[in-house]
Amino acid sequence: MAEKIIAYRFDCLDQTLSQLNKENCAIIAGGTDVMVMYKSRRGVPPKIPKPIVFIDHLSELKKVYQNQKDLHIGACCTYSELLGNPLIPIVLKKAIKTIAAPAIRNRGTLGGNVCNASPAGDTLPLLYVYNAKLLLRSVKGDRIVPISDFIQGVRRIQRESNEILVEIILPSVLDDGAHVIFEKVGNRNADAIAKVGFAGYIRLNGDGIEDVRFAFGAVGPTMIRSVAIEKMLLGRTVPLTDSDIAQVVAAFDKIIKPIDDQRSTALYRKTVALNLLRYFLSMKQYQPT
Amino acid sequence: MNLKDISTSVPRKDHKGKVSGQLPYISDVKVENMVYGVLFRSPIAYGKIKSIQLPDLPEGYEAVGAEHIPGPNYVKIIKEDQPIFANEWVNYIGEPILMLVGENLDVLYRLLDEVKIEFEEHQAIYTLEEAIKQKSAPGVNMANYEFGESLDTITSIELKAHQIIEEEYDTGYQEHVYLEPQGMLAIYKEDEIVVQGSMQCLYYIKNALVNALDCGDDDVRVVQSPTGGGFGGKEEFPSMMACHVAVAAKAVKKSVMLVFDRSEDMVVTTKRHPAKLKYRTAIDREGNILSMCIEIFLDGGANVGLSSVVLQRALLNSAGVYKIPHFHAKGYVLKTNTVPNGAFRGFGAPQSFAGIESHIGHLSKLANNDPLEYKRKYLVKQGDPTITKGNFRDPILMEDMIEVLLKSSNYKKKKQKYHQLNQQNQRYKKGIGTSLFLHGCGFTGSGERDHIKAKVKLAKSKDDQVSLKISNSDMGQGILTTLSKIVAKELDLPLENVLYPYPDTKEVPDSGPTVASRTTMIVGKLLERAAKKLKAQWQTGVEQEVTEDYVHREMIPWNEKTFTGDAYPAYSWGVNIVEVEVDTLTGNIKLEKVFANYEVGKVIDDRVMKGQIDGGLAQGLAYGYLEKMTSKEGKIQQKSITDYGPPTSLDVVSIQSKVFDNPYADGPYGAKGAGELTLIGGAPAVQAAIEDALQIPFQQIPITPEVIIESLYVREGEQG
């Protein structure tokens, strides 16, 4: 009584896209999220309600290259591949190293982390402060969407069923002289789901702040970022005054609304998110990373 | 086998099968005419079953429940309070009510969703706090004991004391997280039922089966499968699963397999008892202890199981390794409508040691003394009485063990250095802490003589191979190797000529359960004696058999009613020093260094012992700060390993350990127990280190980042 499963594994991206144009499919890159999402109880295979398309082998989706100062990362690059790539910023590698354990990092992909749109996605806080743009492709052509528009809620994304995420683009990330940090707070050092994630980005001109960005993970349905709050700091000089810091922290205090769950408490998440922010803002100096 | 010293390591006998992944565990087994079982479990915490409505079952699918049990409907352990299939009252969420059996798991899961049961719900008790408030209500107090100096004497001391210090201390759940979830198979044959599975105690299961099936001794057989970790979780719990599969096999006349996946296992199997410990200590002007009263409350969960025995060990260890003047203790096991709690490595002692080490540490502050120096003032010595008027009659090496560890860890210098560093570093704070502990080896009191009555057998074949016939399980702790080694050395045989097949109750006498750090000391000694006997009568090329029976060591007789006498035949000892770094922004704790000295009589295999040290300490340290399990309205919240968070290799550091020789006459080559000891010191040492780093006292474990952040920020905020 084995059930029939339809699965496609095409040789190239074009064939894959044309199939997707005909039929709504479940896309599997590494499978590290899909297989968990549809997992059955012991002894029964996962039940994926749609035909499956495998894309993990498509070379069109595995390129990493520089275009001017922008970094283009193929959506199907596995975490392990990115760790071995010299173009990938060190701080992004640091975030990747906090993901699960080697076996998962050998399968899981950056595109998967984006499209899974988990509130606790480990690379998402950084992708948000990098102003990442997503290149989506269908038989009808390409479109580019900012990550903050693409991810709309818990596991809700703005992908049409005939589209595939091809590249994650990090604009001006190469040599822009920014100081970028990432912190993941989990219950242990491997195989942990984030209780709080934080990314901070700051670019100075002399002592003056030219650009500053913050993103928080696991404290809301999606990453929390506020351009309005960031603007409050533009033109200020570092080290920041206590009242500037307090003002920014108070502003985030109003918009960060985490929940209690089996992993942590709302109170903890909020306190720690604001602690990490305050710590980042209180640094005496910032070095380009 | 020609080893100068028995401690010299040999390759483990089970090494190849396990490392290559070739060894089949119970879930890998398939037999002819086999069906699967799935359990319908109570969705409510407390109530009466009003009606059961089953879906239409396809051909080959059947439901098995209380009405199919040939014998009485309870799992034989100590008391008759644990139904095999609940058919009147349900007492916790997840309690088995009936089993569906059939060939296809997918179909079974679908049918399970279609079972409809109507309940009359009653008000449940969800937490230990609630149970303590309702302690005198009928059925809540499941066991209690009280002993020590009279309360009148203590009151008169307290009246004259400089100060009375009262503290309350809470410990949480701990989940075993054995690598292999629970699994049991009943093989149906016309004249017998053979039950195979992952287990620690073959004869516990056999006795439960004879009772449930109301059958003769020869009608059931219990065979251990390779067992991927036990930690006490496979002590009494498998008896219930064995009853489920055996009753079902008998009812449907097919072989029945029941295996849990991780989430089912985490939610319904026994855990370490959450506990509340209350300390009331009178001190003089200098901070010296004048008297101490302790009250211990254990959350038993929905039935008593082994909880009364766990409470005994918690009470027997309540004074730690200290000689406390004028000591009094009492304890209770209270019922809550939550998953039953049961055996777990340490068996009540880890709660008590966490509590007493914490309390003594806090008292040392009042005395203005370094915690370790203060503890050493009260350390028991050879010849001292125990808190139950027994005697520490063997040499105690703790002072040496402490001195050696102080040197190798550089404790005093580091402590100073960290206090200076912490002034300068706003974010990260370092601390160092110690724990001192012991473990009573084997069953409490005269349990070995009166209840267990262990017997071992050695069988020699014509080709001069010798087989160990004992009912003990290798569950990863290494007895396959160590017990074989004892026999091989005694008989001067190559290790490969000593066999230790997976035990089968048809073949082996009852050498007792694999629990209580008793196997090496008690069973090992019996095997050593059996081997000596066989050697004396050895005839090459002839089949021979020898047996040995347990002989009790002369002690002060144990009286369970008055709680007096020698509670244990022997004690193993330990000292831990732990260094941590606490991130004050996140409350995260990083273990930096772990030092451990132990005394277990004599080590039978260095590498096996190192396995016990590293694994036991990792589990014990994690109990103190990392592993967190909670129950909300009767439901366990953490259903995955990730959410529960046991340590990974990135969380534990390399453990620097040393084991001291102090041979014990009634153990093989002088060996005592080691398996539980190694866990016990972890949590209290990690707590002491965190307190040293933050200069804040804590009254609970685990000290999670949430607990730390709350004490660092929220309380501070409230005051401000």
The model's pLDDT over B270-310, given as tens digits with 9 standing for 90+, comes to: 999 999 999 999 999 999 999 999 999 999 999 999 999 99
Instruction: Indicate whether B600 and B706 sit together in one domain.
Output: yes
Q: Which amino acid is at B649?
A: S
Instruction: Indicate whether B398 and B350 sit together in one domain.
Output: yes
Q: What is the per-residue pLDDT across B304-355, written as a single tens digit (0 to 9) for each?
A: 999 999 999 999 999 999 999 999 999 999 999 999 999 999 999 999 999 9
Output the six-digit token pair for B347: 């068996």
Which pLDDT value is given to residue A2? 61
Domains belonging to chain A, first-starting first, are 7-170 (3.30.465.10), 179-281 (3.30.390.50)
Q: Hey, are the CB atoms on A268 and B260 less than 8 Å from each other?
A: no
Backbone dihedral region for residue B410 (phi beyond 0: left; psi -120 to 50: alpha; all else: beta): left
Is residue B100 in some structural domain? yes
Q: Is the CB of residue B113 less than 8 Å away from at least one CB of chain A?
A: no
Name the band, by pLDDT with cuts 50, 70 and 90, for residue B719: very low
Is residue B130 in some structural domain? no
Given a cut of 50, the residues of chain A with pLDDT beneath it are 1
Mean pLDDT of chain B: 97
| Residues 149-168, chain B, touching A (beta carbon < 8 A) | none
Q: Express as a percent the part of chain B with pLDDT over 90.
A: 97
Q: What is the per-residue pLDDT across B521-557, written as a single tens digit (0 to 9) for each?
A: 999 999 999 999 999 999 999 999 999 999 988 889 9
The minimal CB distance from B626 to the residues A188, A275, A276 is found for: A188
Q: What is the dihedral of CA B191, B197, B199, B201, to 10 degrees?
A: 0
Is residue B22 in some structural domain? no
| Residues 35-64, chain A, touching B (beta carbon < 8 A) | 40-44
Q: Express as a percent the part of chain B with pLDDT over 70.
A: 99
Sequential DSSP letters for A64-95: EEEETTEEEEETT-BHHHHHT-TTS-HHHHHH
Name the band, by pLDDT with cuts 50, 70 and 90, for residue B720: very low
Mean pLDDT of B396-407: 98
| Residues 100-119, chain A, touching B (beta carbon < 8 A) | 101
Single residue among B265, B285, B317 that ends a domain in this structure:
B265
Single residue among B240, B265, B290 that ends a domain in this structure:
B265
Mean pLDDT of B153-178: 98
Calpha distance B682→B678 (Å, rounded): 8
Calpha distance B286→B276 (Å, rounded): 28
Is residue B368 in some structural domain? yes
Residue of chain A whose alpha carbon sits nearest to that of B427: A279
Q: Is the CB of residue B628 less than 8 Å away from at least one CB of chain A?
A: yes
Model ipTM?
Answer: 0.96
Q: For residue B217, give the nearest of B227, B225, B209 by alpha carbon.
A: B209
Mean pLDDT of B488-503: 97
Calpha distance B91→B41 (Å, rounded): 11
The minimal CB distance from A190 to the residues B104, B650, B705 is found for: B650
CA angle (B419 as vertex; B418, B425 as ends), nearest 5: 80
Q: What is the pTM of this model?
A: 0.97
Q: Is the CB of residue A196 less than 8 Å away from at least one CB of chain B?
A: yes
Output the six-digit token pair for B624: 């103190």
Is residue B10 in some structural domain? no
Single residue among B265, B291, B316 that ends a domain in this structure:
B265
The minimal CB distance from A42 to the residues B261, B585, B714 is found for: B261
Which pLDDT value is given to residue B1? 78
Instruction: Indicate whether B614 and B592 sit together in one domain.
Output: yes
Work out whether strand B327-335 and strand B289-301 pair parallel, antiparallel, or are unpaired: parallel
Q: Which residues of B touch A200 (CB under 8 A)?
A: none
Instruction: Indicate whether B621 and B598 sit together in one domain.
Output: yes
Instruction: Indicate whether B295 and B253 sit together in one domain.
Output: no
Q: Hey, are the CB atoms on B648 and A42 less than 8 Å from each other?
A: no
Residue of chain A whose alpha carbon sits nearest to that of B644: A263
CB B578 within 8 A of CB B591: yes
Q: Hey, are the CB atoms on A275 and B588 less than 8 Å from each other?
A: no
Residue of chain B whose alpha carbon sits nearest to that of A46: B106
Instruction: Indicate whether B295 and B321 sit together in one domain.
Output: yes
Instruction: Indicate whether B520 and B566 sit together in one domain.
Output: no
Instruction: Indicate whether B223 and B298 sit together in one domain.
Output: no
Which pLDDT value is given to residue B717? 53
Collapse the DSSP code of A102 into the 3-class scheme (helix H, G, I; strand E, B; otherwise coil) and give the result: helix
Q: Is the CB of residue A285 less than 8 Å away from at least one CB of chain B?
A: no
Name the band, by pLDDT with cuts 50, 70 and 90, for residue B2: confident
Is residue B476 in some structural domain? yes
Alpha helices, H only, B99-187? 105-114, 128-133, 151-160
Instruction: Indicate whether B438 and B464 sit together in one domain.
Output: no
Q: What is the per-residue pLDDT across B688-710, written as a single tens digit (0 to 9) for each?
A: 999 999 999 999 999 999 999 99
Q: Which residues of B touch A196 (CB under 8 A)?
A: 586
| Residues 566-625, chain B, touching A (beta carbon < 8 A) | 585-588
Length of chain A: 289
Mean pLDDT of B79-93: 97
CB B430 within 8 A of CB B688: no
CB A133 within 8 A of CB A169: yes
Calpha distance A117→A107 (Å, rounded): 17
Instruction: Indicate whether B658 and B613 sit together in one domain.
Output: yes
- For residue B519, the domain's CATH number is 3.30.365.10
The minimal CB distance from B645 to the residues A42, A187, A275 is found for: A187
- Helices B411-424 and B682-694 pack at an angle, to 10 degrees, of 40
Mean pLDDT of B511-522: 97
Output the six-digit token pair for B153: 């004497």
The minimal CB distance from B106 to the residues A44, A190, A196 is found for: A44
Which pLDDT value is given to residue B715? 62
Name the band, by pLDDT with cuts 50, 70 and 90, for residue B716: low
Instruction: Indicate whether B486 and B391 sit together in one domain.
Output: no
Which pLDDT value is given to residue B554? 82
Q: Which residues pair with B164 in a beta bridge?
A: B282
Mean pLDDT of B626-641: 98
CB B100 within 8 A of CB B63: yes
Q: Structurally, how many domains does chain B consist of?
A: 3
Q: Which are the contacts of B508, defined by CB distance < 8 A and separation ≥ 6?
A: B202, B457, B469, B470, B471
CA angle (B166 as vertex; B161, B167 as ends), nearest 5: 150
Instruction: Indicate whether B218 and B247 sit together in one domain.
Output: yes
Q: Hey, are the CB atoms on B586 and A193 less than 8 Å from each other?
A: no
Q: Hey, are the CB atoms on A264 and B106 less than 8 Å from each other?
A: no
Place of tokens 């380009």: A288
- Helices B524-536 and B479-491 pack at an angle, to 10 degrees, of 30
Q: Domain span at residue B524? A: 447-549
Alpha helices, H only, B290-348? 307-316
Calpha distance B138→B145 (Å, rounded): 18
Which pLDDT value is given to residue B294? 98
Is residue B578 in some structural domain? yes
CB A217 within 8 A of CB A125: yes
**DSSP tag of B709:** H
Interface probe with A: pick from B586, B590, B652, B708, most Cβ of A within 10 Å? B586
| Residues 631-690, chain B, touching A (beta carbon < 8 A) | 637-639, 641-643, 645-651
Q: Hey, are the CB atoms on B638 and A42 less than 8 Å from each other?
A: no
- For residue B54, the domain's CATH number is 3.90.1170.50
Q: What is the per-residue pLDDT across B420-471, written as a single tens digit (0 to 9) for each?
A: 999 999 999 999 999 999 999 999 888 899 999 999 999 999 999 999 999 9
Mean pLDDT of B218-246: 98
Number of CB pairs, chain A paired with chain B, less than 8 A apart? 84
Which pLDDT value is given to residue B553? 84
Q: Is the CB of residue B179 less than 8 Å away from at least one CB of chain A?
A: no
Q: What is the per-residue pLDDT across B550-605, written as a single tens digit (0 to 9) for each?
A: 998 888 999 999 999 999 999 999 999 999 999 999 999 999 999 999 999 999 99
Sequential DSSP letters for B554-567: P-SPPBTTTTBS-S
Interface probe with B: pick from A37, A262, A264, A278, most Cβ of B within 10 Å? A262
Q: Which residues of A touch B720 (CB under 8 A)?
A: none
Q: Which residues of B touch A265 (CB under 8 A)?
A: 706
Is residue B15 in some structural domain? no
Place of tokens 């349905």: A221
Q: Which residues of A touch B266 (CB under 8 A)?
A: none
